[in-house]
Structure 1
Amino acid sequence: MSGMLATGTRLTTEDGEEMVVSGLLGSGGQGEVYQVKGAMGEKALKWYYPGCATAEQWDIVHNLVGRGFTDDRFLWPQAMVTGPRSGFGYLMDIRPERFRGLPDLFRRELDTSPLALVTAGLHMVEAYQALHSKGIAYRDISYGNLFFDPDNGDVLVCDNDNAVGEGEVTGIAGTMEFMAPELVRGDPGAMPGTQTDLHSLSVLLFMLLTNHHPLKGRAELDINCLDEAAERRLFGKRPVFVFDPENDANCPDPDEHRTVLLTWPTIPPVLQKLFVQNFTDGLRDASHRVRETQWRHALSEVRDTIVVCADCGKQNLTEPRETKPGVCWRCRHTLMLPPRLVVTTRMPKVERHLRLRHKAKVYAHHLQAEPDRHRYGPDGLVAELVEHPQKPGKYGLANRTGTTWSTRRSDGTAQQVAPGQTVPLRAGLEVDLGLARAVVREH
């Protein structure tokens, strides 16, 4: 596979750092990506096709580099690069192999889990929220720019070279099937920004959880040729949610759209309501679109209350505060709800509900009223459900912090639990976690 830059080509950053091209990694719509090596180590280089290497694109990327935005969820442009002839590109970190593209997921080529998908959705929402908080609109949120780890749900946003400051009019408007309806229609005054990003984000989130586009139902099947004019009708002029409760003109076809008909019922009502809001009122009025904070609250609650079926072992998404067990999506047997840990932060008071499923964990963000980010790694671990080594079926809550807990049983008996120790799990158990208090409920 050959590209615009030959192996061994020497290039220079704007600051004078030299590098050598090691090989071609891939290509896309705007340019090619190479592996390069220099004093900075191994990096990835996006090199623009001649037709895309415009002065406008230079200014966009140069401004992004100048912002110095550092976030491990983004392959952010780090330095401008020029070569011996005309042309330019930019440096970024190399994408680790553990991250896979969403098209692999949609083709069912990945072994993943509902837990990983919900986690990926939560991390995705928080990543774009972090970008928006800096006054930057991404403008091209789609399945082509997001990668995730199918094992744990970590995400990585790539192709960040079209993001601009809120209100700027340069660059692209997005990918048609992810664009907000007002952009597809070309409404007067409509322009890409954080408000239109919210629509794109919701489309991508729906696809992540259902493997289907929210606006592709029977109306798409009635189109003989899905050309640009047809796409503008489907996504802009007459968009209808496939599960619009008041309009069934675009409902899923039972033969052609079996996947979404099977996956939609597995989505808990707390998420279904947000999707309905975003793709009914939100299609007509941008101010009614679901905000990142709403998504992150709902997704984190759903993640905390996933239940594993005792009969077939499949993970089930459940309504966070529901006490009546539902049925497993796979085997249709009634689910057994594990005990619930209710964590209440001190001030301001926020209540969180965690299902104490096998190997359940409590993290630092559970003790915060409004965490800036949900981190599920070992560094943030606070408590963990463990099984008694000599008494199978008996469980306890292990202290994974560096401080001693104060606990109280339902009979009033108190116990101090030092770091590394475990307190037996019983209904009514109260645990002082410092920043929050936790109580074990039977259901």
Structure 2
Amino acid sequence: MSGKIIRLTAHDGTPVEFVDEVKGAGGLKDCYFAPDRSYVVLFYRDKVDAVGKDRLQSIVGRFKDNIFNQAGGAYWEKLYCWPDRIVEWNGRIGITVPFYARHYFFEHGSKSGDMLKIKGREKEGKWFASANNRAKFLDPRELGTWATHLRMCLMLARAVRRLHMAGLAHSDLSYKNVLVDPVGGNANIIDIDGLVVPGKFPPDVVGTPDFIAPEVVASARLPRGDPNRKLPSIQTDCHALAVLIYMYLLYRHPLRGRKVHDQDTTRDEELSMGGRALFVEDPKDASNRINPKGVRPSELPWADTGARPYTLTGPYLSPLFLRAFTEGLKNPQVRPTASEWESALIRTVDLLQPCINPACEQKWYVFDNSTRPCCPFCGTPFRGLLPVLNLYHATHKPGEFRPDNHRLMVYTNQSLYLWHASRSVAPNERITPEQAQRVGYFVLHSDKWWLVNERMPDLYDAGAKAAIPVGQKVELKHDQQILLAKGEGGRLLHVQMVGAR
């Protein structure tokens, strides 16, 4: 590093060092690196007013404490780049923020010898949410699989859910302010210093184009103090979250179709993203379908909603997309919450099936509940006998079980976890290391599917009326019932065998 090292004392009394060399510049701040690159210092270019200082004090103080100093708080360190100190230098206010984890930087970069010079740069989501960018520019080793994209979306939904639980809105969720790692299935929310608290801290920005909620776009020309002017909030975050998940799974924008509302491009943009926003896959109005003949070849087949419909995301995500981009466009109150997306993504992960075609780009797909499952990405049908496990939970009445609307697909080395065995355990930030260990796994041997018991003392074959001790296995058969755990909330598996020869 060529610049000299600046040494300061943060407002909390701790020492801060950074190299006097601007390493990056955003819309509002300049970025400087600590000498050891363990954190960055971001200085605001413009003067920060009293409300802004109060907001920053709250973000590095009580907001941070309420999230990170609670049960499971350490979990959030991998999902947020949260500001932790306030500094002043040369009359400017700044904050320190932890440096991004290594997997949020491009390892291989772009095609053709990194022609875009992105190797070593941070992974902005725009590279992975566009079919054109993925096909034309990125090294295939950077793309991940459809399964890792699902996990990436799950991490994002979980992080947004926690913000909203604390009464906070990000206000500018977009692929610029969410770093992603499609290879490892990770996501990290950045630019947290603009958090919105209704009635206390108003938004600094209205958002990023493509992710601004329709009501915000439609009222943007009104004066800021007008009661009809809509500003970023938890509800607008929910719109942006739905757009992000849709784009990370389907590589197209849910509102950008063929329909032209006005010959003036600025006015057309306002209408198509605002008051006349229309889902490109709206089942009742096909006027905004994407025209496959009007897009670049590199955008196909993803731009063809007939070839890649949103329904391929499965029975849990599809209804949320439909609600978010039909009724939810006009009525923010009915938009799916981050918690709903999190739950749907967890269940969708359990429906994943590996594609048997080694050349399949996406590698995984969601079981479509058919007797002849087929990969929607490459068209390869599943061959063999496929176990589908329907989950039921025990009620407080002995011997009574109720359906969970939750299925688990089986494939070789598929793991079974405690949250599958018991409804009282959830796979979220509160789970302990012991609870996170798998309790069993599935294996195909001699054309028979087996469940191997690793850590389930109550495993019981209800049909055969036989216990399956830890270390033993049980063969999966059609219409079989297997008890995973005793007591209220304990799960029962009902086995369906789908034949696809």
Which TM bucket (shorter chain)? 0.7 to 0.9
Q: Is the CA contact 2:462–2:482 (under 8 Å) kept in the aligned structure 1? A: yes
Q: Is the CA contact 1:241–1:250 (under 8 Å) kept in the aligned structure 2? A: yes
Equivalent of 1:356 in 406, 410, 417: 410
Q: CA deviation at 1:111?
A: 2.4
Q: How does 1:4-403 map to 2 (within 5 A)?
A: 6-22=3-19, 24-36=22-34, 42-48=38-44, 50-51=45-46, 53-66=48-61, 67=63, 68=65, 69-70=67-68, 71-72=76-77, 73-83=79-89, 85-99=90-104, 100-105=123-128, 106=130, 107-108=133-134, 109=138, 110-168=142-200, 169-186=202-219, 188-219=228-259, 226-227=265-266, 229-255=267-293, 256=295, 258=300, 259-261=302-304, 262-264=307-309, 266-312=312-358, 314=360, 315-319=363-367, 322-336=369-383, 338-347=386-395, 351=404, 352-366=406-420, 367-368=422-423, 371=426, 373=428, 380-387=436-443, 395-401=449-455
Worse-superposed segment, 105-114 or 132-141 = 105-114
For the aligned residues, what is the CA RMSD? 3.0
Which TM-score applies when normalising by structure 1? 0.86
Cα distance change, pair 58–230 in 1 and its aligned pair in 2 (3 A): farther
Equivalent of 1:415 in 442, 452, 468: 468
In structure 2, the residue corresponding to 1:344 is in which secondary structure? strand
In structure 1, the residue corresponding to 2:194 is in which secondary structure? coil
Cα distance change, pair 226–8 in 1 and its aligned pair in 2 (3 A): farther
Cα deviations by residue, 1:147-199 (Å, 9 ceiling, x for unpaired): 22223312211111111213442422212321111111117052321111111
Cα distance change, pair 26–436 in 1 and its aligned pair in 2 (3 A): farther
Aligned to 2:225: none
In 1, Cα distance between equivalents of 2:323 and 2:425: 23
Q: Is the CA contact 1:64–1:164 (under 8 Å) kept in the aligned structure 2? A: no
Highest RCO, 1 vs 2 (Cα 8 Å, sep ≥ 6): 2
Paired residues, number: 427
Q: Is the CA contact 1:341–1:438 (under 8 Å) kept in the aligned structure 2? A: no
Q: Is the CA contact 1:406–1:416 (under 8 Å) kept in the aligned structure 2? A: yes
In structure 1, the residue corresponding to 2:468 is in which secondary structure? strand
In structure 2, the residue corresponding to 1:232 is in which secondary structure? helix
Cα distance change, pair 252–46 in 1 and its aligned pair in 2 (3 A): same
Q: Is the CA contact 2:154–2:345 (under 8 Å) kept in the aligned structure 1? A: yes
Q: Is structure 2 residue 487 aligned with structure 1 residue 432? A: no
Cα distance change, pair 154–362 in 1 and its aligned pair in 2 (3 A): farther
Cα deviations by residue, 1:98-154 (Å, 9 ceiling, x for unpaired): 123312313212221111111111221121111100010111111111122223312
Aligned to 2:114: none
Worse-superposed segment, 310-319 or 96-105 = 310-319
Q: CA deviation at 1:395?
A: 4.9
Q: CA deviation at 1:239?
A: 1.0
Q: Which amino acid aligns with 1:185?
A: A
Worse-superposed segment, 406-415 or 184-193 = 406-415
Q: CA deviation at 1:270?
A: 3.8
Q: CA deviation at 1:333?
A: 3.2
In 1, Cα distance between equivalents of 2:319 and 2:28: 38
Q: CA deviation at 1:14?
A: 0.3
Q: CA deviation at 1:74?
A: 1.0
In 2, Cα distance between equivalents of 1:324 and 1:376: 38
In 1, Cα distance between equivalents of 2:143 and 2:433: 21
Q: CA deviation at 1:206?
A: 1.0
Q: Which amino acid aligns with 2:232?
A: P
Q: Is the CA contact 1:396–1:422 (under 8 Å) kept in the aligned structure 2? A: no
Q: Which amino acid aligns with 1:200?
A: A
In 1, Cα distance between equivalents of 2:206 and 2:30: 21
In 2, Cα distance between equivalents of 1:369 and 1:189: 43
Identity of aligned residues (%): 23
Cα distance change, pair 134–240 in 1 and its aligned pair in 2 (3 A): same
Cα distance change, pair 177–310 in 1 and its aligned pair in 2 (3 A): closer
Cα deviations by residue, 1:77-107 (Å, 9 ceiling, x for unpaired): 1111112x11121112211121233123132
